[in-house]
């Protein structure tokens, strides 16, 4: 899933200097799960903003709402209607960057500000801890590395590691918390009885399916632009 | 949520009148004793009596017992009644018999009076006929005063009579007025005559002087004219009535009181606690002996001979005692009181067409009817020996049946109750719950209590009652996912639930059977989607808002401190009472009592500042006091997080204060509030 962290309050506050009616929009999926942008967080930010505006003697209405996923047309439409109907003049979304874009593309002349910093694709390692595990590079090579991704989990994104900064299984960048992914790959390949494969150099990676190849889109032909749907 | 609310807690399910136990206990813990009384009286007009002598099936089924011990529900009930006397008098009202139909109730025991009450409330004109000089049946005449003082019964009876029920005392049907006359005068008749006579025994010597029967004996004792007993008294029987007889006899001064019964110790039908109390009072029990003969000299009882009872019940669990006649024993005694069972006196039906079969009234339990149209039955004459609360339950039933009959002319078959309970508390959940000592009261010392018929059991003090009330698990009123919740299945509830109750299958689920209602999942849910079915804290902001809009901002003595206090810590009603608007204005302190401050979510800690608070002060219970595993740690972390946020928004984290009660709420809370107020002044001066 996508992981995000709340932006510093004052940064968000700074976006909103000139608005009178602001909507804080939570998202019910990834950011709810990683405890940074669900309904509870939206309520909290809204409350904080109301307090801060009042302290500054500003009369600003701060509203709150949450949708199931801000990256879907159907879920977002009611919010767009609400923004229009209620004359909301700015939106702070607590969704990942996708939500910010998705709304901005559709909302017309109302500005949309990010309330969180989208950080990575990760997994919940234990209660309260998320860790990066995928880089979305567009061409998965983990079949070569025992299912462990060196691109996402090596600080240097090395395809042929480890580097000299691997010490006692930990990465020199953050020796307390971060394991050296190449140590992990080594251990795992050993466990799988494939240690000899590590003699092979990994081939050069084609980065075109990643960011380098331009904006990525995906089409699922079997439901894309159904003719009977466009008729109605 | 809707579904759960149909589920009975095991306590309510076990109660014959299904008292809403959780609700009255909840009301006690919020200091709303009047409200608690309303809940009790709704179903049980004999609440005062039951607070004293109910055999409390609710406690026997209390789910807390797998954790430590059941909640002391009977004493809580008594506490409510004893602390709402004036209110109880105020709430009385007379009901005019607008329906114009007349009903005669024969017998003023708990079932007769309950039916009379229900019918009077519906608007019928009810007359109760009682052969004795006092209303209440066995409650008035048999249950000894040391267990049930007259005043305690009288409260209930006064309440019932206040509806406008007419009572004819010293009026025995069959003697002072005939059943036939009643039939002519009344539209319906209820026979609720109980089982007022004791069985005797067909053994040699039974006619001698010094042989007494249990119920008449108790009756005389209760009416202040106890029979003369010899110095050595033998009570035959092993049930609760026998225990009462023995204990009452003991109080009359003989040097020896011995009980003998057919049953082994384990088989004795008397309640365990009654047996123990009797033994404490110096009454000895001879188990597995059956009376063989009374020994007499010149017509005076001198002793009793027993034979060994080898078996009381047969394979089909039917009463069918077997003896070994070769094993006998005899004792010198001066008096023998027989307490081996009761029967009804139905002589008043002799010349009537109401069916009686071998001394038993023929009746249909499902419709509470006798064999004649318009004649109804309730209480022990219908059910056989039971409990007061069971008699009350049949009183309600028969009232419904009579009402239906008078309205439609037809017999009502009472629907079979199907009661779905939330089930037992699973052992693995119980194992993770914190134990809290059950508050017991100390009975008067045995050596003291056998001196007279003074009540032997003290009631709960307020502090004891509040403390015991909070032990209630509020079964089945715990966490529920709101239907509109955007549950992302994030597992936060699963991860923080101290009892391993929450699960996620697509969305979160907190099974009612297991949830211990701590509310921690509600406080932490990132989708703000979990609420508690009762005792909810998810409307704190709205509550605060409505209180504060009532106050005038200029009048409030600044700084305004919103103080969340642990409801369970209060040892008196002092802080449980709702504050008046002017009290809040004058003190600048707004108390919010929360059933565990661990339930407060981050938003609850921050939003008061939005509503104008200058400071939020959280007062948790005593160090060792928290009912809920994990609540302290989660709350402390949440407070740290909220403080950082308050720093960020410019309010200052120090405005959120945390205190832990020491000594008592009454002592330490005012001190905390003073600190909260002073601190702020210091900061604003600086
Ligand atoms: C010694 C003893 C101890 C008990 N202890 C407990 C206890 O601790 N807890 C508990 O829950 N239950 C206890 N019970 C049981 C409880 O008292 C009974 O279940 C209950 O009183 C039955 O109520 P009832 O309405 O059927 O009849 P009763 O209470 O028996 O009342 C019947 C009434 O009808 C009157 N009556 C009879 N014939 C006539 C007539 N012809 N005309 C006019 N009036 C008539 C009688 O005088 C009596 O007042 C005890 C019972 C006894 C005997």
The DSSP line for B509-550 is E--TTT-----HHHHH-TT--EEESSS--TTHHHHHHHHHHH
Closest by CA to B618, choosing from B566, B683, B540, is B566
In degrees rounded to 5, what are phi and psi of residue B335? Answer: -135, 145
- On chain A, the residues whose CB falls within 8 A of the CB of B531 are none
**Which helix (H) or strand (E) is B342 found in, with range?**
strand B342-343
Does B267 share its domain with B302?
A: yes
Does B602 share its domain with B508?
A: no
Closest by CA to B254, choosing from B222, B226, B232, is B232
Give the pLDDT means over successive 10-residue stretches in chain B (686 positions). Answer: 60 96 95 97 98 97 96 98 98 93 98 98 98 95 95 97 97 96 97 94 92 95 92 96 97 95 94 94 96 94 96 91 95 96 94 91 95 96 96 98 96 86 92 94 95 96 95 92 92 95 94 92 94 75 86 88 93 90 93 92 95 95 86 95 97 95 92 87 55
- On chain B, the residues whose CB falls within 8 A of the CB of A52 are 649-650
Of B491, B526, B606, the CB nearest to A47: B606
Atom of ligand 1 nearest to the CA of B148: 8
CA distance B679 to chain A (A): 20
Question: Would you state the pLDDT for residue B686?
Answer: 46
Atom of ligand 1 nearest to the CA of B175: 41
Does B550 share its domain with B677?
A: yes
Say if the Cβ atoms of B651 and A54 lie within 8 Å: no
Say if the Cβ atoms of A10 and B648 lie within 8 Å: yes
Q: Is B214 on the interface with A (CB under 8 A)?
A: no
Please count the residue pairs, one from chain A and one from chain B, whose beta carbons lie less than 8 angstroms apart: 80
Does B460 share its domain with B495?
A: no
CA distance B608 to chain A (A): 9
Q: What is the DSSP letter of B417?
A: P
Atom of ligand 1 nearest to the CA of B110: 25
Does B186 share its domain with B237?
A: no
Q: Using omega within 30 degrees of 0 as the cis cutoff, is the peptide bond preceding B137 cis?
A: no
CA distance B21 to B473: 11
Mean pLDDT of chain A: 96
Question: Would you state the pLDDT for residue B1?
Answer: 30
Q: Which parts of chain A register pLDDT below 50?
A: none
In a domain, B529, yes or no: yes
Quick one: tokens of B294? 């009374």
Does B67 share its domain with B118?
A: no
Write the pLDDT tens digit of every residue in A2-25: 999 999 999 999 999 999 999 999
The CATH number that applies at residue B153 is: 3.50.50.60
Tell me the CA–centroid distance for residue B175 and ligand 1, in Å. Answer: 20
Tell me the CA–centroid distance for residue B296 and ligand 1, in Å. Answer: 33
The CATH number that applies at residue B22 is: 1.10.1060.10
Q: Say yes or no: ipTM exceeds 0.90.
A: yes
Does B560 share its domain with B668?
A: yes
Q: Does domain A2-119 have CATH number 3.90.1150.10?
A: no
Number of domains in chain B: 5
Does B551 share its domain with B673?
A: yes
- On chain A, the residues whose CB falls within 8 A of the CB of B521 are none
Does B54 share its domain with B169?
A: no
CA distance B551 to A131: 49
Question: Would you state the pLDDT for residue B538?
Answer: 65
- On chain A, the residues whose CB falls within 8 A of the CB of B489 are 33
Say if the Cβ atoms of A50 and B492 lie within 8 Å: no
* pTM, full prediction: 0.92
CA distance A12 to chain B (A): 11
- On chain B, the residues whose CB falls within 8 A of the CB of A44 are 602-603, 606, 645
Tell me the CA–centroid distance for residue B221 and ligand 1, in Å. Answer: 15
Tell me the CA–centroid distance for residue B170 and ligand 1, in Å. Answer: 16
Of B486, B495, B603, the CB nearest to A44: B603
Q: Which residue(s) pair with B369 in the sheet? A: B364, B376
SS3 B206: coil
Of B601, B610, B648, the CB nearest to A9: B648
Tell me the CA–centroid distance for residue B108 and ligand 1, in Å. Answer: 8
Question: Would you state the pLDDT for residue B154?
Answer: 97
Of A10, A38, A51, the CB nearest to B526: A38
- On chain A, the residues whose CB falls within 8 A of the CB of B493 are none
CA distance B147 to B49: 10
Question: CA separation (Å) from B496 to A61, B162, B492, B629?
Answer: 34, 53, 6, 10
Say if the Cβ atoms of A32 and B527 lie within 8 Å: yes
Yes or no: say if B653 and B643 are a contact pair by the CB < 8 Å rule: yes
CA distance B494 to chain A (A): 10
Domain layout of chain A by residue ranges: 2-119, 137-203
In a domain, B201, yes or no: no
Atom of ligand 1 nearest to the CA of B147: 8
Q: Look at residues B290, B305, B338 and tell me which one is the last residue of a structural domain.
A: B338
- On chain B, the residues whose CB falls within 8 A of the CB of A8 are 648
Atom of ligand 1 nearest to the CA of B195: 30
Q: Look at residues B280, B304, B338 and tell me which one is the last residue of a structural domain.
A: B338
Atom of ligand 1 nearest to the CA of B129: 43
Tell me the CA–centroid distance for residue B384 and ligand 1, in Å. Answer: 11
Question: Would you state the pLDDT for residue B536?
Answer: 67
Secondary structure (DSSP) of chain A = -EEEEEPPHHHHHHHTTT-SEEEEEEESSHHHHTTSSSHHHHHHHHHHHHHHHHHTT---EEEEEEES-TTSHHHHHHHHHHHHHHT--EEEE-S-HHHHHHHHTTSTTS-EEESEEEEEEEEEEETTEEEEEE---SS--GGGTTT--HHHHSTT--SS---TTEETTEETTSTTT-B-HHHHHHHHHHHTT-GGGGGSPPPPP--TTTGGG-S-----TTTTT-HHHHH-
Question: Would you state the pLDDT for residue B537?
Answer: 66
Q: Which residue(s) pair with B356 in the sheet? A: B361
Say if the Cβ atoms of A51 and B649 lie within 8 Å: yes
Is B94 exposed, middle or buried (CB count within 10 Å of its CB: 0-12, 13-18, 19+)? Answer: exposed
**Ligand 1, residues at Cβ distance < 6 Å:** B 53-55, 106-112, 129-132, 137-139, 142-143, 172-174, 192-194, 196, 218, 240-241, 244, 345, 348, 379-380, 386-389, 391
Q: Look at residues B535, B550, B566 and tell me which one is the last residue of a structural domain.
A: B535
Of A39, A48, A124, the CB nearest to B606: A48
Yes or no: say if B71 and B464 are a contact pair by the CB < 8 Å rule: no
- On chain B, the residues whose CB falls within 8 A of the CB of A64 are none
Does B426 share its domain with B381?
A: no
Q: Which domain holds residue B578?
A: 539-685
Please name the residue that has the structure tokens 């004293």: B52
Say if the Cβ atoms of A43 and B528 lie within 8 Å: yes
- On chain B, the residues whose CB falls within 8 A of the CB of A51 are 606, 609-610, 649-651
Q: Which of B490, B493, B530, B643 to mutate to test the interface with A (most CBs of A within 10 A)?
A: B490
CA distance B649 to chain A (A): 6
Q: Which of residues 449-508 of B touch A (CB under 8 A)?
A: 486, 488-492, 495-496
Tell me the CA–centroid distance for residue B395 and ligand 1, in Å. Answer: 13
Question: Would you state the pLDDT for residue A105?
Answer: 98
Closest by CA to B260, choosing from B277, B245, B273, B280, is B245
Write the pLDDT tens digit of every residue in B107-119: 999 999 999 999 9
Tell me the CA–centroid distance for residue B190 and ligand 1, in Å. Answer: 15
Tell me the CA–centroid distance for residue B534 and ligand 1, in Å. Answer: 38
Yes or no: say if B262 and B312 are a contact pair by the CB < 8 Å rule: yes
Mutate to test the pocket of ligand 1, among B118, B137, B386 (most ligand atoms within 8 A of CB): B137
Q: Which residue of B has its CA nearest to A39?
A: B527
Yes or no: say if B608 and B591 are a contact pair by the CB < 8 Å rule: no
Atom of ligand 1 nearest to the CA of B245: 1
Does B492 share its domain with B383?
A: no
Does B601 share its domain with B581?
A: yes
Question: Would you state the pLDDT for residue B2?
Answer: 34
Question: Would you state the pLDDT for residue B518?
Answer: 92
Instruction: Supply the residue whose CA is at minimum distance from atom 38 of ligand 1.
Output: B193
Q: Is B526 on the interface with A (CB under 8 A)?
A: yes
């Amino acid at each position: 899933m996508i992981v995000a962290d709340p932006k510093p309050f004052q940064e968000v506050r700074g976006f909103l200097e000139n608005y009178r009616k602001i909507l804080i929009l939570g998202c019910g999926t990834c950011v709810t799960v990683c405890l940074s942008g669900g309904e509870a967080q939206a309520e909290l930010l809204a409350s904080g903003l109301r307090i801060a505006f009042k302290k500054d003697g500003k009369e600003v209405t701060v509203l709150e709402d949450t949708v199931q996923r801000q990256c879907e047309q159907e879920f977002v439409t009611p919010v767009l209607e609400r923004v229009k109907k209620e004359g909301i003049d700015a939106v702070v979304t607590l969704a990942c960057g996708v939500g910010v874009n998705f709304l901005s593309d559709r909302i017309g002349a109302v500005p949309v500000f990010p309330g969180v910093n989208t950080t990575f694709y990760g997994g919940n390692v234990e209660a309260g801890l998320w860790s990066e595990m995928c880089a979305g590079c567009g061409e998965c090579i983990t079949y070569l590395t025992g299912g462990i991704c060196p691109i996402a989990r090596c600080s240097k994104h090395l395809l042929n590691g480890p580097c000299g900064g691997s010490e006692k299984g930990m990465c020199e960048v953050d020796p307390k918390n971060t394991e050296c992914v190449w140590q992990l790959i080594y251990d795992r390949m050993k466990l799988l009885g494939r240690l000899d494969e590590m003699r092979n150099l990994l081939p050069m990676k084609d980065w075109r399916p990643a960011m380098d190849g331009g904006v990525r889109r995906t089409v699922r032909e079997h439901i894309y632009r159904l003719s009977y749907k466009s008729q109605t | 949520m809707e579904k759960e609310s149909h589920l009975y807690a095991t306590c309510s399910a076990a109660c014959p009148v299904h008292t809403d136990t959780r609700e009255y206990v909840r009301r006690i813990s919020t200091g709303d004793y009047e409200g608690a009384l309303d809940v009790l009286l709704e179903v049980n007009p004999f609440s005062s009596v039951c607070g004293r002598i109910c055999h409390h099936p609710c406690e026997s089924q209390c789910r807390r017992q797998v954790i430590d011990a059941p909640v002391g529900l009977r004493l809580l009930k008594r506490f409510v009644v004893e602390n709402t006397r004036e209110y109880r008098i105020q709430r009385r009202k007379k009901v005019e018999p607008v329906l114009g139909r007349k009903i005669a109730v024969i017998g003023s025991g708990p079932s007769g009076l309950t039916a009379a009450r229900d019918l009077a409330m519906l608007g019928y004109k009810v007359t109760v006929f009682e052969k004795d000089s006092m209303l209440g049946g066995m409650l008035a005449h048999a249950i000894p005063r040391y267990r049930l003082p007259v005043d305690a019964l009288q409260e209930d009876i006064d309440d019932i009579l206040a509806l406008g029920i007419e009572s004819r005392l010293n009026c025995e049907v069959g003697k002072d007025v005939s059943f036939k006359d009643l039939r002519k005068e009344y539209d319906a008749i209820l026979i609720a005559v109980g089982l007022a006579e004791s069985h005797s025994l067909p053994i040699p010597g039974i006619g001698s002087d010094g042989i007494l029967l249990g119920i008449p004996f108790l009756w005389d004792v209760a009416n202040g004219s106890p029979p003369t007993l010899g110095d050595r008294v033998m009570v035959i029987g092993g049930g609760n009535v026998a225990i009462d007889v023995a204990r009452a006899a003991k109080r009359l001064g003989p040097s020896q009181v011995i009980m003998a019964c057919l049953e082994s110790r384990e088989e004795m039908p008397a309640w365990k606690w009654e047996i123990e109390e009797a033994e404490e009072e110096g009454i000895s029990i001879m188990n597995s002996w059956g009376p063989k003969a009374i020994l007499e000299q010149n017509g005076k009882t001198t002793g009793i001979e027993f034979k060994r009872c080898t078996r009381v019940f047969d394979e089909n669990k039917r009463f069918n005692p077997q003896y070994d006649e070769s094993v006998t024993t005899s004792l010198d005694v001066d008096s023998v009181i027989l307490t081996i069972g009761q029967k009804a006196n139905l002589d008043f039906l002799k010349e009537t067409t109401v069916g009686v079969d071998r001394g038993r009234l023929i009746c249909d339990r499902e419709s509470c009817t006798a064999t004649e149209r318009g004649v109804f039955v309730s209480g022990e004459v219908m059910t056989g020996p039971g409990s007061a609360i069971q008699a009350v339950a049949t009183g309600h039933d028969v009232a419904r049946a009579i009402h239906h009959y008078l309205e439609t002319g037809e017999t009502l078959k009472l629907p079979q109750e199907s009661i779905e309970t939330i089930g037992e508390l699973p052992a693995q959940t119980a194992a993770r719950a914190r134990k809290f000592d059950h508050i017991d009261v100390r009975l008067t010392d045995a050596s003291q209590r056998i001196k007279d018929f003074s009540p032997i059991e003290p009631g709960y003090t307020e502090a004891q009652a509040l403390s015991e009330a909070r032990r209630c698990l509020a079964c089945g009123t715990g966490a529920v996912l709101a239907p509109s919740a955007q549950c992302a299945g994030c597992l936060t509830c699963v991860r923080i639930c101290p009892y391993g109750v929450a699960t996620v299958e697509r969305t979160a689920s907190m099974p009612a059977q297991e949830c211990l209602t701590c509310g921690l999942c509600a406080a932490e849910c990132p989708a703000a989607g979990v609420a508690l079915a009762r005792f909810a804290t998810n409307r704190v902001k709205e509550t605060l808002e409505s209180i504060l809009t009532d106050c005038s901002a200029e009048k409030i003595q600044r700084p305004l401190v919103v103080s969340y206090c642990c409801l369970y810590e209060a040892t008196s009603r002092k802080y449980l009472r709702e504050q008046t608007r002017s009290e809040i204005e004058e003190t600048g302190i707004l108390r919010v009592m929360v059933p565990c401050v661990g339930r407060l979510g981050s938003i609850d800690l921050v939003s008061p500042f939005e509503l104008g608070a200058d400071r939020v002060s959280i007062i948790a219970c005593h160090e060792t006091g928290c009912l809920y595993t994990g609540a302290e740690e989660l709350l402390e972390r949440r407070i740290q997080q909220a403080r950082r946020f308050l720093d960020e928004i410019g309010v200052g984290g120090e405005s959120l204060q945390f205190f832990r009660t020491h000594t008592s709420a009454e002592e330490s809370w005012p001190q905390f509030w003073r600190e909260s107020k002073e601190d702020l002044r210091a900061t604003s001066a600086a």
